[in-house]
Amino acid sequence: MTYLSPFVALASASIATLAIASTPFPSTYAAPDHAPVIITNATILTGTGSRLDDASIFFANGKIVSVGEEPTALPADTTLIDARGAWVTPGIIDVHSHLGVYPSPGVDAHSDGNEATAPVTAEVWAEHSVWPQDPGFGRALAGGITALQILPGSANLFGGRGVTLKNVASVSYQGMKFPNAPYGLKMACGENPKRVYGRKGSGPSTRMGNIAGYRNAWIKAVEYRDAHEQFEALSDEKRGETEKPKRDLELETLAGVLNGDIIVHMHCYRADEMMTILDLAKEFNYKVGTFHHGIEAYKIASELAENDVCGALWADWWGFKMEAYDGIQENIALVDRPKGSCAIVHSDSDEGIQRLNQEAAKAMARGLKAGLEITPERAIQWITSNAAKSLGIEDQTGSLQSGLMADIVVWSGNPFSVYAKATNVFIDGVERFDRLDPSKQPVSDFELGQLMEIER
């Protein structure tokens, strides 16, 4: 994704140096070795808009080697999966999950998803709340989820950093962290921040208060970035005799957005508010990556496409609050319609993440019913390549192309059906889930040994 003007790109170079030198909480994920795999006779949706029938896909050393054409020679240790009747898609990616931060069981002690103590908490990082033993990760894997972004909640104007994970079982989030994926910054429009902080008396209590809150924070972030850039630009001699600007966790994250290193994920329902936010981004020269929930995104589908902003949406949720009142089931299909669009089906739910394929199927069906031409090979992009683009990982995963990560799902049939199930899920070429083999189905520590006393 091209983010910013050359001017800002230049500026980012200096801070990037600073950031890399101090990257804390690094990923420790490394995929184990696996034998090469060839899946044959499958219906393949590539995630690039193509459908291949009776086709094969070959992957080795964690990477996709070939799609469509069967290689002339295969290594001797290649595992063969005859997928006649089955469908193959890229690994499913959910750009909006609270697994780990609002895990199962949903007891108070696990409620770690929203630092709802101040309207601006850009300093918090969702990964520090992720409980890797959430049984929801394993359930999502059974639904074909190979990567997901964990976001803070939406009580705040700036809710903190989101983190992109590989859906691999681990005792630490570092062991799940998607290597080198950019961070996200959760922001929120509308009812939630004004309700939460209006009640607390601190404000904002209105939508105009929300906007003032964002602007004040960005003004500070610009000053912060400039101060650090100016310091880094000093000659060694001058730097030695100048006091180094103080580090500030909140502003460091916001400066990361201004530099294009961190992607904005903005919870926003109403069309008019999204238009305000696009202007806000222009004022401070940053990019809104994705609007999340966007119940009214269909009202500004062209504007979203023109501004290269993704819309991460539900298939059918509506009405739970005033800003969700105009929800229609054709939202995703309409957002998908303009040239250059980036429609995404997201879950925001430990249930929905288990069947994003079905959520996409419902959205596709409503589009077809409305007369829009949408094929499965197009709709699959809503939960694969478009989601990868939203997270800034589209050069690594989200589609079936040689050289990309072998994140692959085999489905028992057409995944746009309530009856289809993911049968095999590969992450970086490693089979992490096999529906027929209990030894390839992860069980979280929490679920281990529960209900041992049931009479059998």
Partner 1 sequence: MRIYMSIVWIALALQSSNVFAERLLMKNATLMTMGAEGTLEGADLLIEDGEIRAMGIDLQATADTVIDVAGATVTPTLFAGATAIGLVEVNAVKESVDSSLNNSPLGKVHIEFDVRDAYSPHSSLVGITRVEGYGYSLLMANGAEYSVSGIGSLVELDGRFDSFSGNDTLFIDVDGYSSGKVGGSRAAHWMLLEGMMSDLDRRPDSQEYLTQAGRKQLKELRSEGVFVFAANRAADIKQVINFTEKHRLSSVVIGAREAWMLASQLADSGIAVMVNGLDNLPADFDSLGSRLDNAAILNDTGVTVMFTSGGTHNARKVRQGAGTAVAYGMNYMSALRAMTVVPSQIFGGRDRAIKVGNSTDLVVWSGDPLEITSHATAVIMAGQVTSMETRQSKLLERYLPEKPSLGRAYINR
Residue 201 has a CB neighbour count (10 Å cut-off) of 7
Shortest gap between Cβ of 297 and partner 1 (angstroms)? 10
Shortest gap between Cβ of 125 and partner 1 (angstroms)? 25
Name the site residues for partner 1 (rule: CB under 8 A).
Answer: 104-107, 135-136, 139, 191, 298-299, 302, 316-322, 324-330, 334, 337, 350-351, 354-355, 358, 361-362, 364-366, 368-371, 416-421, 446-447, 450-451, 454-455
Cα 410 to Cα 94: distance, rounded to the nearest angstrom: 17
The alpha carbon of 271 is separated from its chain's Cα centroid by a whole number of angstroms, namely 22
Shortest gap between Cβ of 76 and partner 1 (angstroms)? 38
Task: Please identify, using beta-carbon distances, which residue of 155 and 254 lies nearer to partner 1.
Answer: 155
Shortest gap between Cβ of 208 and partner 1 (angstroms)? 20
Task: Please identify, using beta-carbon distances, which residue of 63 and 421 lies nearer to partner 1.
Answer: 421
Shortest gap between Cβ of 154 and partner 1 (angstroms)? 13
In angstroms, the first-to-last Cα distance of the chain is 55
From residue 120, give the alpha-carbon distance in Å to each of 115, 123, 187, 290, 445: 9, 8, 9, 19, 34
- Nearest residue to 434 via CA among 444, 445, 422, 443: 422
Report CA torsion sign: 115, 191, 300, 353. positive
Shortest gap between Cβ of 394 and partner 1 (angstroms)? 27
The pairing of strands 408-411 and 87-90 is antiparallel
Bridge partner list, 190: none
Shortest gap between Cβ of 368 and partner 1 (angstroms)? 7
Q: Residue 35 corresponds to which amino acid?
A: A
Task: Please identify, using beta-carbon distances, which residue of 191 and 252 lies nearer to partner 1.
Answer: 191
- Nearest residue to 186 via CA among 131, 249, 275, 122: 122
Cα 442 to Cα 279: distance, rounded to the nearest angstrom: 45
Task: Please identify, using beta-carbon distances, which residue of 253 and 358 lies nearer to partner 1.
Answer: 358
Task: Please identify, using beta-carbon distances, which residue of 25 and 325 lies nearer to partner 1.
Answer: 325
Cα 281 to Cα 77: distance, rounded to the nearest angstrom: 52
Task: Please identify, using beta-carbon distances, which residue of 105 and 438 lies nearer to partner 1.
Answer: 105
Task: Please identify, using beta-carbon distances, which residue of 115 and 359 lies nearer to partner 1.
Answer: 359
Query: Are the CB atoms for 168 and 432 separated by under 8 Å?
Result: yes
